[in-house]
Amino acid sequence: MTIESTAIVGPGLDHGLLGHATRHLIHCPPSWDHFLLEAPSSREERFLLTGDTPSAHPLFNDGPGHFHDPQLVTEAVQEIGGFVGHQYFGVPEDRPGLFYRFGLGVTEVAAWRAGRGPARMTTELRATPANTVNGVPRGMDFHLEVSLDDVPCATGTASLVFVMPGLHRRQVAHSRWAVQATPELADEPAGPVRPVDPGAVGRDSAANVVVSEPTQASHGRLSTWVLLRRDNPVLGATADGHLAGTLLMESLRQASVVTAGRAVGLVPERAMLASCEVHFRGYAEADLPVRCATVPGPIGRDAAGRPTVPVTLTLTQNRRTVAEARTTVVQDF
Amino acid sequence: MRFRILGPMEIEGSAGPGVLHTPQAAKLRVVLGTLLVRANQVVSVESLVTELWREEPPRTATATLHVYVSQLRKLLDAVDPARGRELLHTQPPGYRLSLTPDLLDLTAFEELYRLGREAMADGRYRRAADLQRRAIALWRGPLLSDTPHGPLLEGAAAQLAEAGGAALDQRIRADLELGRHHELIAELRSLAAEHPLREELHGHLMLALYRAGRQAEALQAFAELRKMLVAELAIEPGPPLQRLHRRILAGDPGLLRTAAETGSAETVREDADGTASLGIAAGTALPAADPVFTGRGAALAQVEELLRNAPAGSFVAVAGQPGVGKTAFALEVAHRSGPYFPDGRLFLDLQPEPGRPLPATKAISTLLRRRGVRLAHGAGAGELHDAWQEQLTDRQLLLVLDNADSEAQLRPLLPTTAGSSAIVTARRLPAGLGGIRPVLLDALDPEEARLLFTAAVGPEREAAEPAAVRELLELCGGLPLAVRVAAAQLTARPHWSVASLVDRLRDERFRLGELRIGELDTRAPLLRAYQDARPELRRAFRLLGLLPAGPFGRAAAGAVLGLSPAGTTRLLDGLVDDRLLVAGDRAGCQLPELLRVLAVERLAEEESPQDIGDAIERLCAEYARAAGQVAAVLTHARPSGDEPHEPAAWFTRERDALVRAVRQAHGAGRWTAAVRLVAALDGHLETHAAWGAWAETHALALDAARRCGDRAAEARTLRSLGDLAWQQRRLEEAEEHYGLARRIAEETGHRTELSRALVGLAELRMDAGDGAAADALLTAALAADPGPGDPRARFDVLRALGFHALSAGDHARAHTRFTACLDLARTLHDRRLESFARRALRTARSGPGHRLEVRPGVWRLHERRPLPEPAF
C-alpha cells in the first residue's frame, strides 16, 4: 500500500453526525504519561464511543426498521478516526484522515434487531499508529468491538492515512487528470438509468436509493450504476468533488442486497450485511459515472441456520477500480 | 473354623472340612457375606438393610434384620461352640464380625497378593510367582457366587475381581522373567480368548511366543487383536502393545532377555542362604519407560550430558512439584543412557509406601540382592555398605533412586568412585550432599502438554475439539499427572467429549476430585507434599489460596499471611523449597494451578472463618494502600520507592484480583474492608472506563455500606455509580443514583458528596439543554462546597460552572472558572487535573466545537448542525 494512491474516503463528518443523539467518547489511557504531559502517544490507545443509536437519521432510519444499520459503526469510525489521530497521536490538524480499508463482521445477528426505541451502542476502539516518521504517524489502524445494549455483536478493523495538504492536492489533481486523459476507457450508461425500487434495497424513500436497476451479465453477474443524490446531504459529494464515503458504503450495501435478492430470492426487507470487507483503491470523481459489478456466491447458512449469500463487488470509474468489496448478506426473520 | 467367600460361601467348623455350615437362607447369606467382606469393620444397619432389600425395605426391616443377626449368632455358635458367639458384636451404628486373618480366605488372598507384589518389586521373581500362584489358587469362583448382591457386595465383587486379575498378571510377568515362556503359551492363549479386551494378556502372549522363537505367531496375535478391536470398538491397540509390536517387528534382542538370563536378580540363587555369594555383574532392572513420554528435550539432553561426563562422586538430582513426572523423566534418561553404563542400571523406589521411607540398610540389601549378592542374615550396616561400594567400584553402573526422602537415606547409596553414577528424584533437593547436579522440572508448557495429551489419547480428540483441549490443559495446569488422568478418563469413557470433561473441571471446588481414575489420583501426591510440609508452611500455603491464580507480589502475600516482609520471604522460600510454590521474576511468586486449587480446598477445610476473614481484610487493606500509592505516583509523579512495579500498568494487571478481593470481603461479611477498598479503586475504575468491574465492585460496596450503616460510604458509592451511568450515557440511571446520593448527603451533612452529586445532576441538565435548572443546581453545589478542606470537590463545581458558562457563550467567565480549576489542580498536585484544566482554558479561548472534553478524558460529541427535513 502506498499512501499516495489508496487514500480516498474522506471522513464525512457532516453526514455522520446528522440525526445522532449526544454521545461520549472516552479515552482510557494505558499509561497516563502522554495524557498528563499532553505528549503524543506512540502505542496502542483504547477508546469507548457510547450513546444511543439515532432515531431520526435520514438514511439509517429509513426503511422497514427491522435492524439497526451496521453502517453506524463505519460512520462512527469515520467520524472520530481523524480526531483521534490529531488529538492523541500528534498528527498535525492540516492532514486529513482518509480511510482506505474497512472490515466489519456481525457476530450476533439477533442483537441487531431493532426494538421500539433506540439501543445503546458502544464501540470499543483500539487505535495503533502506523508508518511513523519523525514521531508522527502517517496512518492509523483500528480494531473495533461493538456492543448493542451490552451484547457484543460485531468486530471489525479499519485503516486510515493522514495525507499532507500539498501531497493531497497533487494527488487529487493527478487522479482527475488520469481519469480524463484516457477517453478510450470511458464507461458510461448506454441510456438513461432508472433507480431500483426502494423496497428492493431495504429503504422506503426513493431519495435514498443510490443504485440503478441492474442489468444481467453472464454467470449471474449483475451490473449497476451508483447514483449521486445531489439533493440528499447524506449521499452527496465532498467539497473537493469526490463521492462521499457514506454514499460509496451505502451503494455497496444496496448492490449487495439487490444481488442477493435477484440471485437467490432473499427478502430485502429482512436482509442485512453480516460481513463487509472494503478496500478503496482510488478516488471516485463526482462528475463521472461509477459502475458497480456484483457476483453472488453460492447460498449458505450461518451457525444459526439463517440463509446467507456472499457477494463480491467492484466499483469502477472509466474502467479504473475505485473499490473492491466482499460482503455477506444474511436473512433474518 | 474357616470362612471362604472367594467363590460360593463355605463355612467350615470345628468338625473339620467334611462338614459345612453354610446357611441355606439367601438373606442370611447376604448378611453374613456382607459382614465377612467388611470383616473387622462396623457395617451399619442402614447398609445391611440396603444390601438386603435395596431401595424397597419392608416396614419391619430393622426388626427382621435383628432376627437374621440372632440366627447368625446361633449359626456361629454351632460352628464353634467355644468362641463362635463372641465373633459378632453389636456396635453402633451396626454390627462387626471380628476375625483373625487366618480365618478368612479373603484376608489370606490380600496378604499373599501384597507379598507377591513386594517380591516382584524386589526382583525375586520365583517367590513372586509362587506367592501369586497361591493367591490365585484361593479363588473358587466369583466372590460369593451363591449369594444375592446388594450395592456393597457388588462393589466389593468388582474390586476383588480386579485384584484377582492383577494377581494373575503378576504371576505371568514373574513366570516370563523366569524364562517359562514355553509353559505359558497355552495358558495365555486360553486367557486371551477368555478376556479378549484385556490387552496386557495379549501382550504377554505375544512376548511368550516371540521368546519361544515363534515371531510370526506373535505378530499374528497382534493382528488378530487389532482386527477385533477395530471391528468391535473402532479403536487401535494401546501404545504399550503397539510399542511391543514394533519391537517384535524390529527383532529387538532386548525382548529376549529375561531376568534368569541376565542374572540381575536372585532368580536362580534365591535359595542360597547362610553365606555371601557374588551374583553376575551385568544386568538391568529398570521398569519400562513411559510409552507416551514426550517433551523435556532440553532437560533430557542436559542430564544425559551430565551423566556421560559425571566426575567421581557426582549425581543428578531431579526435583519438581508433585505430579510433574520426575520418575518418568528419570526412567527415560536411564533407558537412553544404556550404552554408557554397560554394567547395568538399577531402579529402587526409596519410599514404596507413602510416609514410610526405606532405611538405608534395607535399601542397600535390596540393591545387593538385585545384583545377585546375598549376605549372611543379620549383616551389619558397615558390612552392607562395604559390599555395596565393592559392587560399584571399577564398574559403570547407573542407579535410579526414586522418591528420596533425606540426605541420610541417600548418602550410603550413592557411588563414590568414577564410572558409576545416580539419578535421584526427590521433591526437595538433597542440597547438603556433595557432587549434586540439580535439575528442576517445571509444569509442561502448552505445546508439550498438548503433545503428551495427543500421545496418550491419539490425535483425533485434539483435531475434533482444539479449543476444548487447550482449556483442558490449562485447567490441568500443564501438570503431566493431571494430563494423564484427563487422558485416561477420555480413553475409558469414549462417549465423553473433551468439552464435557472441561465442564466438570471448571469448578475448582470439584476439580481435584474429578481428576482421578482407578489408581491414578491427582490429589494424592499433591496432598502428600502439603502434609509433609512444616505446620507453619502448611498454614502459609492455605492462606495463599486466597490470592487469585497467576503471579502475586510479596506485599499481597505478606498481607494474607499477616507477616512482616522478612517473615513472608522466609515462608515463601520454604514453600519454594518444598515445591509447593514457584518463585517468579519481579512479578512475584505463583502457586502452580492445581496446588492453588488444593490450597483453596485446604483453606476451607482447616482454617476458621474468623482467620479467613482477617486475612481477607488484611489483603483488602494492602490493595487499598497500593491503589492509593499508584494513584499518587501517577498523578503527582512522585515515586515513593516502594510502590508496585510498573505503576501505570498496575490497575490493568491487578484488576481481576482487586474485584476478587472485593467479592471475598463481601462474601466474608467484612463490610468495612470492602467499602474502603472500593473507595480506593474509584479513580482507577473511572480513568480506565472499566465498566464491568466498576459496576460489580460498587454494587457490592453499596450493599456493604448499607449493611454496616456507613451512610457517608453509601452516598459516595451512589455518586460513583452515578458517574458510571453518566459515562455510559444511561442518563436516567445516573439521575437516580445522583439523586439518592444527594438525599443521603443532605441527611448526613456530608458536604463533599452533596456537592459532587449536585454537580452530576447539573451536568445531566446541561446535557438536556436545561440551562436554568443546571444553574440552580450548580449554585447549590457551590453553596455546599466543603471549602479548602476538599479542593477536589471544589474543582468539580468550578469545572461544571466553566462549561455552563461556555455553553451560554460567556467565554470570559468560563476562562475565569477554568483558571481557578488550574490553581486548584496545582494545589492538589494532580497532574491529570492540571493538564485537563489547561485544555479547558484553551477551549475557552478558542470556543467550543462539536466535541468537548467535559471531564478528563471524556468527550461529549454533539450534533453539529440541525437535521434537514426528512426526505421520506
Summarised one tens digit per residue, pLDDT across range B710-767 is 999 999 999 999 999 999 999 999 999 999 999 999 999 888 899 999 999 999 998 8
Distance from the B323 Cα atom to the nearest Cα atom in chain A, whole angstroms: 39
Share of chain B above pLDDT 90, in %: 33
**What Rg, from alpha-carbon coordinates, does chain B have?**
38
CA closest to A37 among chain B residues: B835
Which positions 653-692 of B are in contact with A (Cβ < 8 Å)? 687-690
pLDDT score for B870 = 26
Distance from the A175 Cα atom to the nearest Cα atom in chain B, whole angstroms: 31
Name the band, by pLDDT with cuts 50, 70 and 90, for residue B412.
confident
Examine the pLDDT at A34 and tell me if it is beyond 70: no
> Could you give the C-alpha distances from B32 to B19, B23, B39, B160, in angstroms and in order?
18, 9, 10, 18
- A219 torsion bin: left (phi>0), alpha (psi -120 to 50), beta (else): left
- From the list B730, B861, B867, the residue facing A23 with the nearest CB is B861
- When divided into structural domains, chain B yields a total of 6
Residue B316 backbone phi and psi in degrees, to 5? -100, 130
Domain around A231: 3-331
pLDDT digits (tens, 9 = 90+) for A216-266: 877 778 999 998 887 776 787 777 777 888 888 999 999 999 999 988 888
Examine the pLDDT at B793 and tell me if it is beyond 90: no
- What is the C-alpha separation between A236 and A229, in angstroms, rounded? 5
Q: Does residue B560 share a domain with residue B509?
A: no
Q: Do A27 and B859 lie within an 8 Å CB cutoff?
A: yes
Cβ of residue A193 closer than 8 Å to a chain B Cβ: no
Instruction: Give contacts of A36 with chain B, Cβ < 8 Å.
Output: 634-635, 637, 831-832, 834-835
Decide: B730 and B700 in contact? Cβ < 8 Å. no
Q: Do B648 and A25 lie within an 8 Å CB cutoff?
A: no
Tell which of B604, B629, B653 closes a domain: B604
Cβ of residue B768 closer than 8 Å to a chain A Cβ: no
Is the model more confident about B545 or about B178? B545
CATH number where A95 lies: 3.10.129.10
Examine the pLDDT at B144 and tell me if it is beyond 70: yes
H/E element, A104? strand A97-106
Q: Does residue B471 share a domain with residue B436?
A: no
- What is the C-alpha separation between B207 and B215, in angstroms, rounded? 9
Share of chain A above pLDDT 90, in %: 32
Decide: B124 and B56 in contact? Cβ < 8 Å. no
Which burial class, exposed, middle or buried, applies to A137 when counting CB atoms under 10 A from its CB (0-12, 13-18, 19+)? Answer: buried
pLDDT score for A99 = 87
pLDDT score for B638 = 64
pLDDT score for B275 = 28
Q: Does residue B426 share a domain with residue B313?
A: yes
Q: Does residue B420 share a domain with residue B304?
A: yes
Name the band, by pLDDT with cuts 50, 70 and 90, for residue B280.
very low
Instruction: Give contacts of A17 with chain B, Cβ < 8 Å.
Output: 850, 861, 863-865
* Mean pLDDT in residue range B410-430: 87
Examine the pLDDT at A36 and tell me if it is beyond 60: no
- From the list A26, A32, A38, the residue facing B727 with the nearest CB is A26
Of B581, B585, B583, residue with least CA distance to B538: B581
The residues, any chain, with a CB within 8 Å of residue B329's CB and separated by 6 or more, are B293, B296, B299, B300, B318, B425, B441
Decide: A313 and A293 in contact? Cβ < 8 Å. yes
Tell which of B604, B632, B648 closes a domain: B604
Residue B45 lies inside a defined structural domain of this protein: yes
- What is the C-alpha separation between B438 and B831, in angstroms, rounded? 52
Cell 542360597, residue located: B272
Of B609, B715, B716, residue with least CA distance to B669: B609
Which burial class, exposed, middle or buried, applies to B197 when counting CB atoms under 10 A from its CB (0-12, 13-18, 19+)? Answer: exposed
Domain around B676: 608-693
The residues, any chain, with a CB within 8 Å of residue B80's CB and separated by 6 or more, are B1, B13, B14
C-alpha cell at B606: 482447616
- From the list B637, B857, B870, the residue facing A58 with the nearest CB is B870
Q: Does residue B308 share a domain with residue B404?
A: yes
pLDDT score for B258 = 66
Name the band, by pLDDT with cuts 50, 70 and 90, for residue B121.
confident
pLDDT digits (tens, 9 = 90+) for A114-137: 887 888 999 999 999 998 888 889
- What is the C-alpha separation between B136 and B688, in angstroms, rounded? 71
pLDDT digits (tens, 9 = 90+) for B811-860: 899 999 999 999 998 888 888 888 899 989 988 888 777 788 999 889 99
> Could you give the C-alpha distances from A239 to A99, A165, A242, B528, B582, in angstroms and in order?
17, 15, 7, 78, 64
Instruction: Give contacts of A120 with chain B, Cβ < 8 Å.
Output: 728-730
Instruction: Give contacts of A13 with chain B, Cβ < 8 Å.
Output: 864
Instruction: Give contacts of B850 with chain A, Cβ < 8 Å.
Output: 17
Examine the pLDDT at B263 and tell me if it is beyond 60: no
Instruction: Give contacts of B865 with chain A, Cβ < 8 Å.
Output: 14, 17-18
- What is the C-alpha separation between A163 and B601, in angstroms, rounded? 61
The average confidence (pLDDT) of chain B is 85
Examine the pLDDT at B376 and tell me if it is beyond 70: no
Tell which of B139, B157, B178 closes a domain: B178
Interstrand relation of B315-320 and B421-426 (parallel, antiparallel or unpaired):
parallel
- From the list B687, B858, B871, the residue facing A24 with the nearest CB is B858
C-alpha cell at B351: 519410599
- Decide: helix, strand or coil at residue B449: helix
Q: Does residue B532 share a domain with residue B516?
A: no
Instruction: Give contacts of B655 with chain A, Cβ < 8 Å.
Output: none
Cβ of residue A13 closer than 8 Å to a chain B Cβ: yes
Q: Does residue B570 share a domain with residue B617?
A: no
Decide: B11 and B28 in contact? Cβ < 8 Å. no
Q: Does residue B122 share a domain with residue B5?
A: yes
Chain A interface test: which of B729, B764, B766, B832 (most A C-beta within 10 Å): B729
Our measurement of the distance from residue B630's CA atom to the centroid of its chain's CA atoms, rounded to an integer in Å, reads 34
Q: Does residue B416 share a domain with residue B356?
A: yes
Chain B interface test: which of A35, A60, A208, A210 (most B C-beta within 10 Å): A35
Highest mean pLDDT among A258-262, B254-258, B352-356, B675-679: B675-679
State if pTM tops 0.80.
Answer: no
Q: Number of helices and strands (H, E) in chain B?
A: 38, 17
CA closest to A58 among chain B residues: B870
Q: Do B871 and A32 lie within an 8 Å CB cutoff?
A: no
C-alpha cell at B349: 523406589
pLDDT score for B480 = 93
pLDDT score for B641 = 64
CATH number where B40 lies: 1.10.10.10
Q: Does residue B433 share a domain with residue B471?
A: no
* Mean pLDDT in residue range A264-279: 91
pLDDT score for B864 = 45
Which positions 97-126 of A are in contact with B (Cβ < 8 Å)? 120, 122
Interstrand relation of B436-441 and B315-320 (parallel, antiparallel or unpaired):
parallel
Residue B329 lies inside a defined structural domain of this protein: yes
CA closest to B864 among chain A residues: A17
Chain A interface test: which of B861, B862, B864, B869 (most A C-beta within 10 Å): B861
Name the band, by pLDDT with cuts 50, 70 and 90, for residue B353.
confident
- From the list A17, A24, A35, the residue facing B727 with the nearest CB is A24
Share of chain B above pLDDT 70, in %: 93
Q: Does residue B539 share a domain with residue B395?
A: no
- What is the C-alpha separation between A80 and B850, in angstroms, rounded? 12
Q: Does residue B416 share a domain with residue B323?
A: yes
The residues, any chain, with a CB within 8 Å of residue B233's CB and separated by 6 or more, are B494
CATH number where B350 lies: 3.40.50.300
Instruction: Give contacts of A233 with chain B, Cβ < 8 Å.
Output: 868
pLDDT score for B862 = 75
- From the list B730, B858, B872, the residue facing A204 with the nearest CB is B872
* Mean pLDDT in residue range A27-56: 79
- When divided into structural domains, chain A yields a total of 1
pLDDT score for B586 = 62
Name the band, by pLDDT with cuts 50, 70 and 90, for residue B284.
low
Is the model more confident about B193 or about B15? B193
Name the band, by pLDDT with cuts 50, 70 and 90, for residue B377.
low
pLDDT digits (tens, 9 = 90+) for B571-618: 999 999 999 999 876 658 899 999 999 999 999 999 999 999 999 999
* Mean pLDDT in residue range B155-160: 82
- Decide: helix, strand or coil at residue A202: coil
Is the model more confident about B512 or about A64? B512
CATH number where B832 lies: 1.25.40.10
Decide: B229 and B237 in contact? Cβ < 8 Å. yes
- From the list A14, A30, A205, the residue facing B871 with the nearest CB is A205
Distance from the A203 Cα atom to the nearest Cα atom in chain B, whole angstroms: 10
Name the band, by pLDDT with cuts 50, 70 and 90, for residue A38.
low
* Mean pLDDT in residue range B544-563: 91
pLDDT score for B492 = 83
**What Rg, from alpha-carbon coordinates, does chain A have?**
20
pLDDT score for B278 = 30
